[in-house]
Copies of this chain bind each other. A is one copy, B any other.
Amino acid sequence: MAERVRSFWGWGYEESFPNDDARKELATRLRAVLGHVPEPLSPPSASAIVVPEPRFTVPVELRSLGTTDTRERARHTYGRGYRDLVRGFRGDFAAAPDWVFYPTEESQLTLLFRFCESEAIALVPYGGGTSVVGGTEHVASGRLRGTACVDLSRMDKVLAIDTASRTARIQAGATGPRIAQQLAPQGLSLRHYPQSYEFSTLGGWIATRAGGHYATLYTHIDDLVQAVRVVTPAGVIETRRVPASAAGPAPERLFLGSEGAFGIITEAWVRVQPRPRWRASASVRFAKFSDGVAATRVLSQSGLFPSNCRLLDEREAMLHGITQVPRAVLLLAFESADHPLEPWMERALSIASDLGGDCDEEATYTAEIVYSLSPTAVSRPPAPSVAPASELPNVGRDADTATWRRSFLDAPYMQSALVSLGVVCDTFETACSWERFPELHAAVTRSVEAAMRTACGGGTLTCRFTHVYPDGPAPYYTFIAPGRAGAELEQWDAIKKAATDAILANEGTVTHHHAVGRLHRPWWEKERSDLYGSTLSAAKERLDPHGIMNPGCLIGTKT
């Protein structure tokens, strides 16, 4: 199998970027929604990339770990948020890192720290490069005179599996598929499927508190992390591999969400699970989104813990082709490696139905899947094989869910395609209490629609719940609006500001599962107490005394 080439400007693999015909067809379809949409522009050509000359050279012991290759530097310039796609599509790689390093072991990180400290170089840890919040930008400001991108992709091994305790020790650079490949022979799975699953890494998930597969209970990578190992400029912190502890403030929690500001997460013990043997899925229709919200709240408080509990508003359900008429749709699924799921699903449908849901279509129960499990206690995993199909995100099996799943995986490629049409489109998410949700939702809708009208002359906004908690939902919004050639970033800025201001004013959080980065920092600084911010700065000064680690990300640089 020929190795697929990663796009240097857009989402994922270059070959998966929709071709001209597909994008023309997309433009035609979009005109029905947005009015004017221009013909697609061609994506930038690799041969035309311009990056600045590297601002420094490196000593011989680091040279073999790094590269100044133009395409590599361009590819590592940005994450893959809307602003990144637009800048990349425009061929703007002025902020490319001077060097990209590919360490294979921790001792090399220490060499890199010493080099960057003595030479005043910013060091940006890089996992899959899928940040949507400017988590991996390369800024040499203040006393810093250059930037080094440290790509962890060569540290991607499952180092040990403890089948009795269902945990695995995994290197931070392992992507979703690499983890799946190495766990599959033991019948195990991490069951963490962010939309970036194919490219993003364990270390990136931990650094950004990524959200995953489960709609309830184990919603974030936080819930799957047993212990972390972090190499900082000041030394190593390794937390103990125990299921729980009350010994001081939980050390792993300081690094969950640390976004490379303190050091580099190099490995973690994570909680893994046998692949599910039983699955149940169903979809429920509601006349109005607010009816669906009421039912989803009760479900989230029921103690049933569905693996999927994804409520789509009317527009979202129609956009994804799940309904032809305006209905809110709740996609519901349970999975278990231990037991059949009829009692769980039946009770869930009974709750939904009591609260006005239309559960006319029968729930789907898959037959029991039988795997053979290896009884080894702690073992080195066998050589990786190809990831089994059953490892791919699978929230259920009914028709609505299958439709949903295709959309879910294609969405990031779609956004890259939309950028080539000059369309302003993005997603944003939050979490709030159930009590606050109606008001927050109304305010967000009002503000974003107004901003789209003002900045773009119109546009459309949809909402779904990606995760739900007994104390509140995590609403996830998608907006799409006509762009003005060359003004897309300013248009996007206006919409993003309207959205985030409305979220903060209505007691939401600036992000449910996409971290702070550089993008959310101004709002996060309002969300958190200043004193907490300065406490994190004190921690950073201890761990990164020279201030080389991902400067400006999460924590402001000193002026």
Q: What is the CA–CA distance of A539 and B304 in the complex, to the nearest angstrom? A: 39
Q: What is the CA–CA distance of A508 and B527 in the complex, to the nearest angstrom? A: 37
Residues of chain B within 8 A (CB-CB) of A240 are 507, 509, 527-528
A303 and B338 in contact, given A210-B246, A257-B248, A532-B237 (Cβ under 8 angstroms)? yes
**A453 close to B (CB within 8 Å):** no
Residues of chain B within 8 A (CB-CB) of A433 are 162, 164-165, 167, 241-243
**A83 close to B (CB within 8 Å):** no
Of residues 231 through 253 on chain A, the ones whose CB sits less than 8 Å from some CB of chain B are: 232, 234-251, 253
How many chain A residues touch the partner (CB < 8 A)?
A: 99
Binary CB contact string for chain A from 59 to 72 against chain B (1 if under 8 A, 0 otherwise): 00000000000000
**A302 close to B (CB within 8 Å):** yes
**A377 close to B (CB within 8 Å):** yes
- Of B211, B305, B532, the contact of A246 (CB 8 Å cutoff): B211
**A402 close to B (CB within 8 Å):** no
Within the complex, what minimum Cβ distance (angstroms) separates A354 from chain B?
12
Q: What is the CA–CA distance of A234 and B538 in the complex, to the nearest angstrom? A: 13
Residues of chain B within 8 A (CB-CB) of A432 are 242-243
| Complex contact A538–B539 (CB within 8 A) | yes
| Complex contact A435–B162 (CB within 8 A) | yes
Within the complex, what minimum Cβ distance (angstroms) separates A271 from chain B?
6
Interface residue ranges, A against B (CB under 8 Å): 162, 164-167, 208-211, 217, 219-220, 222, 226, 232, 234-251, 253-259, 271, 273, 297, 301-305, 336-339, 343-344, 347, 351, 377-378, 430-436, 467, 469-474, 507-516, 520, 524, 527-532, 534-536, 538-539, 541-543, 554
A-B contact pairs, 8 of them (CB 8 A): A162-B433, A209-B245, A237-B535, A243-B431, A244-B512, A245-B431, A248-B259, A305-B305
This chain's copy number in the assembly: 2
- Of B210, B247, B435, the contact of A510 (CB 8 Å cutoff): B247
A436 and chain B: residue at smallest CB distance: B165
Q: What is the CA–CA distance of A431 and B165 in the complex, to the nearest angstrom? A: 12
Q: What is the CA–CA distance of A525 and B273 in the complex, to the nearest angstrom? A: 32
Q: What is the CA–CA distance of A245 and B527 in the complex, to the nearest angstrom? A: 11
Q: What is the CA–CA distance of A250 and B226 in the complex, to the nearest angstrom? A: 16
A274 and chain B: residue at smallest CB distance: B301
A249 and chain B: residue at smallest CB distance: B257
Q: What is the CA–CA distance of A242 and B470 in the complex, to the nearest angstrom? A: 11
Q: What is the CA–CA distance of A526 and B197 in the complex, to the nearest angstrom? A: 37
Within the complex, what minimum Cβ distance (angstroms) separates A208 from chain B?
6
| Complex contact A524–B247 (CB within 8 A) | yes
A249 and B255 in contact, given A338-B302, A535-B539, A542-B534 (Cβ under 8 angstroms)? yes
Residues of chain B within 8 A (CB-CB) of A539 are 535, 538-539
Within the complex, what minimum Cβ distance (angstroms) separates A252 from chain B?
9
Q: What is the CA–CA distance of A297 and B243 in the complex, to the nearest angstrom? A: 13
Within the complex, what minimum Cβ distance (angstroms) separates A534 from chain B?
6
- Of B165, B242, B338, the contact of A347 (CB 8 Å cutoff): B338
Residues of chain B within 8 A (CB-CB) of A436 are 165
| Complex contact A242–B431 (CB within 8 A) | yes
A514 and B303 in contact, given A339-B347, A531-B234 (Cβ under 8 angstroms)? no
| Complex contact A247–B536 (CB within 8 A) | no
| Complex contact A209–B246 (CB within 8 A) | yes
Within the complex, what minimum Cβ distance (angstroms) separates A502 from chain B?
15
- Of B253, B301, B377, B472, the contact of A249 (CB 8 Å cutoff): B253
Q: A249-B536, A271-B470 are in contact. List 10 more A-B contacts (CB 8 A).
A: A165-B434, A209-B250, A219-B244, A235-B529, A247-B511, A247-B515, A338-B347, A343-B343, A343-B344, A538-B538
- Of B242, B273, B509, B515, the contact of A509 (CB 8 Å cutoff): B242
A242 and B507 in contact, given A250-B257, A531-B236, A535-B542 (Cβ under 8 angstroms)? yes
- Of B297, B343, B554, the contact of A164 (CB 8 Å cutoff): B297
Residues of chain B within 8 A (CB-CB) of A244 are 219-220, 431, 467, 469, 472, 474, 509, 512
